[in-house]
Amino acid sequence: MAWPRWWCSTCCTWSSSTTSASRGTETPHPIASVAALIIGLGLAAPAALAEPSLVIVVTHSERAGEPAGDPALSPEGRQRARQLADHLASANVEAIITTQWRRTQETAAVLAQRLGIEVQPVVTRRGEAAAHIDEVLAAVHKLSGLVLVVGHSNTVAGMVARLSAERPLALCETSHGYLFLLNPAAGTALQLRYGAADPPPAAGCQ
């Protein structure tokens, strides 16, 4: 299906092409939430489907400096996690996948607590991003309804590419506000932004 350009929440912007190196944005029109977008486009699907009807992929929110081995979210990251929960609370999220690291689990925790969903961690190992993407997608394809995946800057673009026909730029390590709404059956993707603005991107990433 073709995605329309008329929608966006007041804290999101729509990118006209997820494959372009220079990304202009449309002037957003007010809409209540990502949930309203899903309902407005008629994208909600019965939970009985064997494959996920929609997949939302985000990177973890801003992290603190401590503890060094497995940092928690910073105050800014906790705020972004609350904003993510606000946008998705009425979207009928049925499953949440994270990694074993605190920053992904804490990004999902507010929404998971509101919905009474148990987060499903998929372990990621250093230097094995491609294998991790395979394992996450295997877990996703076992689920139904709307699935939220909270990943890392080095895995989000790969997941989007595997679940759609889009080829987005990799995310910078300082980018935390992107949200990708994917329709795997149609091969389509929307690239959104939410929350506070990220720092300017470095060369070769967004």
Q: What is the CATH number of the domain that holds 120?
A: 3.40.50.1240
56-88 pLDDT tens trace: 999 999 999 888 899 999 999 999 999 999 999
pLDDT beyond 80 at 9: no
33: CB partners within 8 A, 6+ apart:
9, 86, 87, 88, 89, 90, 91
The length of the chain in residues reads: 206
Domain for residue 198, yes or no?
Answer: no
156-197 pLDDT tens trace: 999 999 999 999 999 999 999 999 999 999 999 999 999 999
pLDDT beyond 90 at 49: no
Number of separate domains in the chain: 1
Q: Which of 119, 121, 64 is nearest to 96 (CA)?
A: 119
- Domain span at residue 79 reads 34-193
CB 63 within 8 A of CB 73: yes
Banded pLDDT at 33 (limits 50, 70, 90): low
* pLDDT at residue 3 in the model: 39
Domain for residue 1, yes or no?
Answer: no
Domain for residue 202, yes or no?
Answer: no
148-157 pLDDT tens trace: 999 999 999 9
Domain for residue 105, yes or no?
Answer: yes
Domain for residue 90, yes or no?
Answer: yes
Domain for residue 155, yes or no?
Answer: yes
